[in-house]
Amino acid sequence: MVERAVVVGAGLIGTSIALALTRHGIRVELSDRDPATLRLACELGAGHPLTTDPGRPADVAVIAAPPRVVPAVLRDAQERGLAHVYTDVASVKASMISEAGALGCDLATYVPGHPMGGREKQGPSAARADLFLGRSWALCPTAKTDPGALALVTALAELCGATPVTLDAAAHDRAVALVSHAPHVASAAVAARLLGGDSDALALAGQGVRDVTRIAGGDPGMWLEILGHNSRPVADILDAIALDLATAATALRAHEGEAVTELLRRGVAGHDRIPGKHGGRAMPDYTVLPVVIPDEPGALGRLFAAAADAGVNIEDVRIDHSPGLPLGVAQLSVERLAVADLAQALADRGWSVHP
Ligand SMILES: NC(=O)C1=CN([C@@H]2O[C@H](COP(=O)(O)OP(=O)(O)OC[C@H]3O[C@@H](n4cnc5c(N)ncnc54)[C@H](O)[C@@H]3O)[C@@H](O)[C@H]2O)C=CC1
Ligand SMILES: O=C(O)C(=O)Cc1ccc(O)cc1
């Protein structure tokens, strides 16, 4: 269905999509307003520089530029006849659609999209062909969207390894306010507190604070654009988070453990609702098995081989290790029913297992 694709904006997302598509043998042509970015993306194997041939539109053009320019870039691409079908990847959808309409874009061939895979880094050097593997990819067709265009962009998302999810733009914006945009601001607020800590305090940082603040490393300029295009839904969730935090602070000062416990319990329940990698399955289906590993080349490979010998699939892995220590802890996520067998098999092979 997709043989030729154009990607406008060869940054993190554009280059990741291009890498995924080229792996399927699709010819990808890239453009970026920054020539150095375009060169790097092409050198990484994401595709070739776009050569405009008005007689030969590509099957699909992906607009992977910052939200503020998406509608204008879409209109320009449509005017140049770059493709038969157009999609974008902006993190907000309702404003993209209304601005595209106001600019006179052809809404029949435009399928608004948003891949739910990303990173806290920008540019083609951070791109990965597997960035969207197992992720949802929101598609927000309007009443004017041509069904053939929707089918083609659905196929594009699947080629990138994602699961397409079709929903209305306003519902999308409310959903991402909850699962992406408000969490980003909350993460930034926690990370910003660290500015007040001295280096001795920061030296004690463990995995928890790294997990909570990872996304805070995202580009503030891009995030201000995203938040500004989804301000109401994000602000409503931030108000609710702020209320929970203020209630917890008051309760702590008054030594009222109940209110704090209530928030912590709701936190556990909320976390449990995040689907696992197979979609729809919640994380608690997996049990984490901590295994001590030496901090040396090949240790993780040996551990995985031992798990494979035992016939157990490792669903996920995280490695905790403190700088300077010769040991680390591999946190293996496995099916609940398999954990006892795996623990025994690894212990039998001499691994230090801590179920
Ligand atoms: N960063 C993330 O994790 C995710 C970002 N998105 C969305 O993806 C889009 C791109 O974000 P990233 O790839 O992260 O940013 P990025 O900064 O890595 O890439 C954006 C690229 O667009 C180029 N660009 C800017 N204006 C342009 C124009 N007028 N014409 C052509 N190219 C232009 C820039 O030079 C840059 O190379 C944004 O709309 C963002 O909301 C969606 C999902 C995840
Ligand atoms: O870094 C991560 O884990 C993300 O989830 C990044 C992300 C950023 C913006 C989006 O619109 C979607 C995903």
**Atom of ligand 1 at shortest range from CA of 118:** 3
**Atom of ligand 2 at shortest range from CA of 119:** 1
CA 145 to CA 195: how far, in whole Å?
A: 47
Distance of CA 201 to the CA centre of its chain: 30
User: For residue 347, what are the CA distances in angstroms to 201, 290, 298, 303?
Assistant: 36, 12, 18, 11
Q: Does residue 278 fall inside a structural domain?
A: no
Half-sphere exposure of 328 (CA within 13 A, CB side): 19
Contacts of 246 by beta carbon, 8 Å cutoff, 6+ apart: none
Query: Ligand 2 centroid to 254 CA: how many Å?
Result: 38
Convert the pLDDT of each residue in 7-25 to its tens digit.
999 999 999 999 999 999 9
Query: Ligand 2 centroid to 120 CA: how many Å?
Result: 7
CB 132 within 8 A of CB 117: yes
Q: Is the ipTM of this complex over 0.95?
A: yes
- Indicate the top mutation candidate among 8, 16, 17, 33 to test ligand 1's pocket, ranked by most ligand atoms within 8 A of CB: 33
Question: How many domains does the chain fold into?
Answer: 3
Q: Is the CB of 69 under 6 A from ligand 1?
A: yes
Q: How confident is the model at residue 322 (pLDDT cuts 50, 70, 90)?
A: low
Q: Is the CB of 6 under 6 A from ligand 1?
A: no
Q: Does residue 81 fall inside a structural domain?
A: yes
Q: Find the range with the poorest average confidence among 24-28, 48-52, 287-291, 318-322.
A: 318-322
φ, ψ for residue 248, nearest 5 deg: -65, -40
CB 107 within 8 A of CB 85: no
pTM of the model: 0.85
268 by Cβ neighbours in 10 Å (0-12 / 13-18 / 19+) ranks as exposed
Ligand nearest the Cα atom of residue 173: 2
The 3-class SS string of 169-190 reads: HHHHHHHHHHHHHHHHHHHHHH
| CATH number of the CATH domain containing 289 | 3.30.70.260
Final residue belonging to a domain, choices 151, 167, 183: 167
Convert the pLDDT of each residue in 44-70 to its tens digit.
999 999 997 767 999 999 999 999 999
136-139 β-sheet, strand order: 113-115, 136-139, 163-166
Q: Which domain holds residue 332?
A: 283-353
Q: What is the pLDDT of residue 328?
A: 82
Q: How confident is the model at residue 325 (pLDDT cuts 50, 70, 90)?
A: confident
CA 180 to CA 220: how far, in whole Å?
A: 15
Final residue belonging to a domain, choices 272, 304, 319: 272
Q: Is the CB of 65 under 6 A from ligand 1?
A: yes
Query: Ligand 1 centroid to 345 CA: how many Å?
Result: 46
Q: Look up tokens 């609940």; give the residue.
A: 336
Q: How confident is the model at residue 277 (pLDDT cuts 50, 70, 90)?
A: low
Q: Look up tokens 């212990």; give the residue.
A: 347
Q: Are residues 157 and 181 in the same domain?
A: no
Assess whether pLDDT exceeds 80 at residue 323.
Answer: no
